[in-house]
Amino acid sequence: MATIDALPDSLLVFIFSRLSQHDRRRFGARVCRRWQQLCNSAPQLLRCTSARVGGHVPGAAHLRSFCRWLMQHAAPHVQRLSLQITPHAQTWDIREQLCAAAAAGLTACGLAGSLTALRLEGPFCEPPVWTGSMHALRGLTLIADGPHHDSWHCVWPQDLAALQELSLSGSLFSLLDADLPTGLTRLHLDLSQLQEEEPEDEPSLPEDLWKLTRLHTLCVAGAQRGIESLGDLRHLRRLSLCNCSAWPDGLSQLTCLEALVLVNSEAALMDAQDDAAAFVAALPHLPLLTHLALDDPAQPGPPAELAALSSLRSLAWLHPAVLPADSPWLGRLTRLALAAESAAALAPALAAAAPRLESLGLSCGVHTEPDLASLLRCVPGMPACRRLLLAGSEQVFGRSAQVMLDAQRAAPHLRVLCSEHPGALWREFVCDFAPDLSREGFLAAAECERH
């Protein structure tokens, strides 16, 4: 009788690829020498590699062991690499050990020339220590946290000439004088965790951002200065601003915009009414805008100027608002996300007003069961609708369960997705039409298998 030992290497590698990297190294490699060699050296299994260690003495030893394995076996084959240290290093000595081990492994992968996407999370050493070898790197994600006195200025050597996608978040970055790689096409900056000691330390965008002439996707969170100058980036196609101090003064000059996401809390905008008026005035100058997502208390509802957006196909308006059923732009939409109370008022006419609607998202508050129920009764009358996204509490879903079941029975083609996470609807909807503009979707190619 044939045993598993009779299988060719190619089939064994295919089977091993269904296991996580952790299981392959911890269990598969201990079965026999043949399996050990395949798990540690098969190029197909090494293209996507990751490690997650703790910020303590055993974690430092684990990282050193992982980096030795990288240098001996994986470096020539790794295309996507993810390193995460959690919790963060407890002492400076441990941090130095972690940084030294990580720098050695990263340098080896970079020199091998196959690494194209890198994700680092934790108190890693400054980029200049290891970026000199990253000639082929196209995507980089850095999530760095630590004491504020450890913050450093981002200096990017010219060796990163191939870098196209960059995502920075955490509390260790100072971007005001940053000299970013000029070849960037996508940039994600999360400045919301930066700590302020002086007024001049407010989170700010790089002063020379306008030099990134190839940049077509920009996501910014928590910026307090520098937002006004974004009007100079007239080549932008996708823009996301979350809890920033202002909106671009020259929004009407961004005539190439195809996707726009604006999210602001009650206190985020300094001149909320002025920015809201400027936003409305800019809409007619954005002829290519196809996707618009907005959650801003300063906007009472979708303005009539949306009728000028002949290309608009997706709209998310999650702040409670009144939508006139006779709005001409409704008939063009294929995706729509609203607060439940807003959608309920529109429900009787929604099927006729939006005949092309394929995806509908609803944000359900604590007391929105009647609104949700009335809307769900209307969904079966929307033949084009294939997906219904609901975000709310367990209590809301429990009290509306029967109506949800009735709606799905009446429309078997309808897929209903529910989530109790407050931001689930926003993330799902934005990822649906503009994955570049959400943190989860940004640099998706750089995300490696996690264990």
CATH class, 313-451 region? alpha beta
Over residues 36-55, the pLDDT tens digits come to: 888 877 888 888 888 887 75
Over residues 237-290, the pLDDT tens digits come to: 999 888 887 777 788 889 999 999 888 754 444 455 666 777 888 888 999 999
Profile the chain (451 residues) by mean pLDDT over runs of 10 residues: 80 85 78 85 83 71 83 85 71 73 83 87 64 83 63 56 85 61 88 60 76 89 80 88 78 90 62 70 90 75 81 84 78 86 78 84 76 79 84 80 82 82 67 53 34 33
pLDDT at position 426 is 67
Instruction: Report, at the CATH architecture level, how domain 1-46 is classified.
Output: Up-down Bundle (1.20)
Burial class (CB in 10 A: 0-12, 13-18, 19+), 431: middle
pLDDT at position 36 is 85
pTM: 0.81
pLDDT at position 178 is 60
